[in-house]
Chain A
Amino acid sequence: MNNIIMERGLLLERGPVDGGVEKEEWMELLSGHHVGRAEMNKLIMNYLVTEGFKESAEKFRLESGIQPSIDLNELDDRIKIREEIQNGNIESAITMVNNLHPELLDNDRYLYFHLQQQHLIELIRDGRVEAALDYAQTHLAERGEENPSILSELERTLALLAFEEPEKSPFGDLLLLCQRQKVASELNAAILETDATPKLANLLKLLLWSQEELDKKKIRYPRMTDIATGTIEAPK
């Protein structure tokens, strides 16, 4: 590869690939690019709205003049629902969802299954074995009939009941609190109806992917080693 074509058509004549790019030159190239303030602000607002930081979003709106893409009061509902799930109050969350978005769980039975499964997990966590079995029989059996592919997930959940210390069983990861987080995110995404990843996250993923691609081709270049601080290190 004799030419490295940078963004916006800057063509850089280079020697053979083994030479690579040194850090100084790299930083010079980078500084030649300008990302507008408005673009930055939009990214930040998008992050705040998607993740549900309502107060920050409001403040940021006042300070930057950027309009959020949705009515910030809608954030309240999503925030409340997420909180309920993170506190293990699944049925309360379901009721809230049914009030705000009555078609959602009818349309997405797989999501409904995950919510019901989480409720089952909470019952197991509380040691309410009979209630758990009852719930599984009454509500989850139907999910299995509709969609046989969930049966294995259901089995794993019910298997927890077979252990005296379920958190130490092979399926113990279901009892971790991050499992609640997973369900909360899934529900959040469904409510938002679009890709629930903030655009900022997508950009960072693109950066990481690009570095991977360059690595695959064994190209020497200064890498960003710390996303959080934006540290770029010289190539070895």
Chain B
Amino acid sequence: MLFASMEIDDQGGWFDTLHSDEPEKWQDALLWLKNSVIGNNKQKQNAINHGIIPRLLQWLVDGDAPQHLRLEAAIIMGSMAKGTAENINTLVEEGCVSVLLKGLKSPDQAFVESCLRCLRTIFLHNSNCGSLIYQEPSIVEDLVEIMPRSVCTQECVANILASSCKEPEHQSKLCECGLIPKLVDLLAGKVYKVQMPVLKCLAGIVRENGENCVVALTAMHNNVPLPDMLVQLMLRDRTSEMQIVAAKVLAYLCGGGALAPQDPRIISKTLPCLIRMCSRDRTLEENVEGAETLAYLLEQDGELQRVAAVSDHIIKTLAEYLKYTDVQQINRCGKRIDINWGIEMKQAAFKAFAALGANEESIRKQVIETEHLMEYVVVGLNSGNMKVAAAAIRCLHSLSRSVQLLRTTIQDHGVWKPLMKIIQEGPEELLPVASSTLCNLLLEFSPSKECILDCGAISVLVNLAARPEPNLRLNGIWGLMNLTFQVEQKVKTKVVESIGTERLFRLLSDPDANIVMKTLGLLRNLLSNKLHIDHIMGMYGNQIMQAVVFILEGEHPIQVKEQTLCILANVADGDKAKDLIMGNEDMLKKLMNYMQYQPDVSLQIAAVACISNLIWSGEDGACARQAKLSEMGVQTLLQKLLSTTDTVLFEKVRTAVQQFS
């Protein structure tokens, strides 16, 4: 018998034998090598240093080499893959994967299984391998065909495929090969170590893939549909790891549109299971995975959010996540896992809160009022770790839909600086959510706007308003609109200066009607307050009037024209600005036309409001204006309108009529 402890000094001798031209000694040498490396990372590295990988590959590649040698080579390769991450990298770099995949074509079942074991270990621990099985079309088909043969092939192939279905093209290819029904059959087989990778594979193959979800929904074993099988696997007598992956598959089926949120299998089975996974008595991995999957599921539907919010003190439980600091783990294989649990738990909790509070104000209130929660959110925003900051932003975005509840947070916790930093320096994909959050928060901030302005909010928003992406442009202009609501004149001036009239008017002809509306809203906010109106019209009056004409004469939805008329009404409120309208015959004629516009009464109301401001008695020059408008027939028109059935219009008309004295 050849023992690993023997002949330490002769080690070099064994390696020489393997590289030598003495085939009769290879079997013994390989046996020695196998026993040397199994369980010993140092020996694995030692073997690599002696150039063992290329030598093993030679046997594996050579279809004519003696089968027993090829088998040992595959087994030893498999042991090498159980070493350190560097060992696995070496294997991948030296091209082992494609050699092993070719080995699957062998008729020798034991050899195939050894190759599969090695591949499975490599794929599980090296995330770069995911696309390697797609390099040749026959590989996937071979794997699917081999899979059912034995417990070993089932477990290994399922694991390999589970690690290889991240991209939509991969998902489609796997589905085309008829993988899903085969997986369902294996799931029913009740062999635990097969069921687990099968579940992970199913999760990977249906995630965000509507077509695959449909196939999975209808897949059956013995007339039991897959979703029902999954519900059985979520029962409490199963291991947590099984419950959570089964729940994941169901959640993805819901997200992919195959299962409705109200389906009892989702709302009464999957949801409670995920909430269970978040509780304190589970491992940290289960907590993180549970919360993240819960977040994914809750985003699908408001009813799910409502039910979740009252389940098992979930908000309190998730709040506890925020208190975790770094904890390391060592598992039984002796591999130290360096995971920063503080980061993982926090980002999972933020994601879950974001989903919980997506639709319901009452839930948002609960979240916001949870002790210290908002402080953690702000700390999260300031975190150097982008994963945490991104999750914190999503949380804040969700909560900002009830911005008035966030008043203290905004005041006390300095949310502006980190928010601006993320917008200006953070990754592109965070821009939409970060800028939406900014818009929402701008709705509610105190008269002391120095802090937000000091943070450069205006230029940030102006830059957004110039972006080619419509959603970012919208957020930019919307933010400016919110910013200028009831604000001081100097801020208004600054805004107009920053954005420039040219950009403003370009936005007025934006193809997106929402953007036009918000730009008009901005103008309206700028032109509120008599003094401001005169000031701004004094500087930009001509351009503004041109813009008004441009919109009224163009093809625009009713709301857009209504907003424009409201702006005109604001202009008419300015003491000096009034003249800009009065001096424009064409504009006055337009107003009269709109006073009679049918069928939409909103335009009539806006036009009358404008007239009302123009003729407002008691103001300088009122008599002259009234006379002029009367001459044009406005008074008569107003009298006619008194017969309207619309109460709002009637009130406005009556007020206007009363001005004529």
Is the pairing of A and B real? yes
CB < 8 Å neighbour of A109 from B3, B39, B193: B39
Asked whether, in the complex, the Cβ of B1 is within 8 Å of the Cβ of A105, the reply is no
B611 to nearest A CB, angstroms?
86
Asked whether, in the complex, the Cβ of B82 is within 8 Å of the Cβ of A91, the reply is no
List A contacts of B372 (CB < 8 A). none
Of the four ranges (under 10, 10 to 19, 20 to 34, 35 or more), the interface on chain A belongs to 20 to 34
Asked whether, in the complex, the Cβ of B334 is within 8 Å of the Cβ of A95, the reply is no
List B contacts of A94 (CB < 8 A). 3-4, 35
Among B5, B8, B330, max chain A CB count under 10 A is at B5
Asked whether, in the complex, the Cβ of A108 is within 8 Å of the Cβ of B75, the reply is no
List A contacts of B79 (CB < 8 A). 102-103, 106
B149 at the interface (CB under 8 A from A): no
List B contacts of A108 (CB < 8 A). 332-333
Quick one: which of B459-477 are within 8 Å of A by CB?
none
Asked whether, in the complex, the Cβ of B82 is within 8 Å of the Cβ of A107, the reply is yes
CB < 8 Å neighbour of A105 from B39, B117, B330: B39
Asked whether, in the complex, the Cβ of B5 is within 8 Å of the Cβ of A135, the reply is yes
List B contacts of A197 (CB < 8 A). none
Asked whether, in the complex, the Cβ of A95 is within 8 Å of the Cβ of B2, the reply is yes
A147 at the interface (CB under 8 A from B): yes
CB < 8 Å neighbour of A106 from B2, B4, B39: B39
Asked whether, in the complex, the Cβ of A103 is within 8 Å of the Cβ of B82, the reply is yes
State the main secondary structure of chain B at its contact with A: loop
A110 at the interface (CB under 8 A from B): yes
Among B39, B82, B335, max chain A CB count under 10 A is at B39
B42 to nearest A CB, angstroms?
5
Asked whether, in the complex, the Cβ of A109 is within 8 Å of the Cβ of B333, the reply is yes
List B contacts of A107 (CB < 8 A). 82, 333
Asked whether, in the complex, the Cβ of B3 is within 8 Å of the Cβ of A95, the reply is yes
Quick one: which of B84-124 are within 8 Å of A by CB?
114, 117
List B contacts of A119 (CB < 8 A). 5
Asked whether, in the complex, the Cβ of A109 is within 8 Å of the Cβ of B5, the reply is no
A112 at the interface (CB under 8 A from B): yes
Asked whether, in the complex, the Cβ of A106 is within 8 Å of the Cβ of B38, the reply is yes
A28 at the interface (CB under 8 A from B): no
A87 at the interface (CB under 8 A from B): no
B34 at the interface (CB under 8 A from A): yes
Instruction: Given A106-B82, A108-B332, A110-B332, decide whether A138 and B5 contact each other with a Cβ distance below 8 A.
Output: yes
CA A102 – CA B42 in complex, angstroms?
A: 18
B457 to nearest A CB, angstroms?
53
List B contacts of A139 (CB < 8 A). 4-5, 40
A residues sitting closer than 8 Å to B (CB atoms) are: 91-92, 94-95, 98, 102-103, 105-110, 112, 119, 135, 138-139, 142-143, 146-149, 193
B residues sitting closer than 8 Å to A (CB atoms) are: 1-5, 8, 34-35, 38-42, 75, 78-79, 82, 114, 117, 193, 330, 332-335
With A91-B4, A92-B3, A106-B39 given, name 5 new contacts (CB 8 A).
A98-B38, A102-B117, A103-B78, A139-B5, A148-B330
